[in-house]
Amino acid sequence: MVVGERKYRDIIVDVFSHLLEKRIVFVTGEITNKTSAVVVAELLHLELQNPKEPIYMIINSPGGVVTAGLAIYDMMQMISCPIQTIYLGEACSMASLLLATGSPGYRFCSTNAKVMIHQPSGAAVGQATDIAIHTVEILKIRDKLNSIYQKHTGRAIEEIEQCMERDFFMDAEQAKKFGIIDSVIDCHQA
């Protein structure tokens, strides 16, 4: 809890609400529909407050539901606020996509952080026709994710496809070289 000062009295505010007032948004833990709804609402709220002031998105997530992550991505692309992405710990799967899609020049990570990209996974049960429908859909999602990574990293689509074939781990310097981030924050000199 954080004590906030108001005109006539002090109020107690949880730390995440206090940081949101400072335009800091957190994507932590698994990315679910609930997580996505909160982050999308926070981004929209900050856009309505001041569309020119930057938003700082702190990421530490193993990834999660692709469609939930794409909802956050879509809102990041729709709003006009510059978004600085900063990751600590891990940015895997959908979280690495959010990291890569921050504003160019403002995508950061700590020296000890790790990134992992891979193709989407899923399961289908039911009749053969239903399984075929789901197979086509997940392949479309894979192509969409590959295109998003290609757009934001500048890598050739063939290289993205090859790297996404299996879990592809990168340390901070490798993520910078790959184009997922722009700078590594040296935690020992911060």
Cβ atoms 69, 98 nearer than 8 A = yes
Task: Reply yes or no on whether 93 is catalytic.
Answer: yes
Selecting among 17, 61, 80, 93, the annotated active-site residue is 93
26 forms beta bridges with 58
3-state helix, strand, coil in the chain (%, to 5): 45, 25, 30
3-state secondary structure of 48: helix
The identity of residue 89, as a single letter, is G
Whole-Å CA distances, 46 to 17, 81, 105, 174: 12, 8, 21, 32
Q: Among 190, 154, 186, which Cα is nearest to 173's?
A: 186
Whole-Å CA distances, 82 to 3, 60, 107: 29, 20, 11
Matching residue, tokens 């192509």: 143
Burial of 3 (0-12, 13-18, 19+ CB in 10 A): exposed
Q: Which residues are designated catalytic?
A: 93
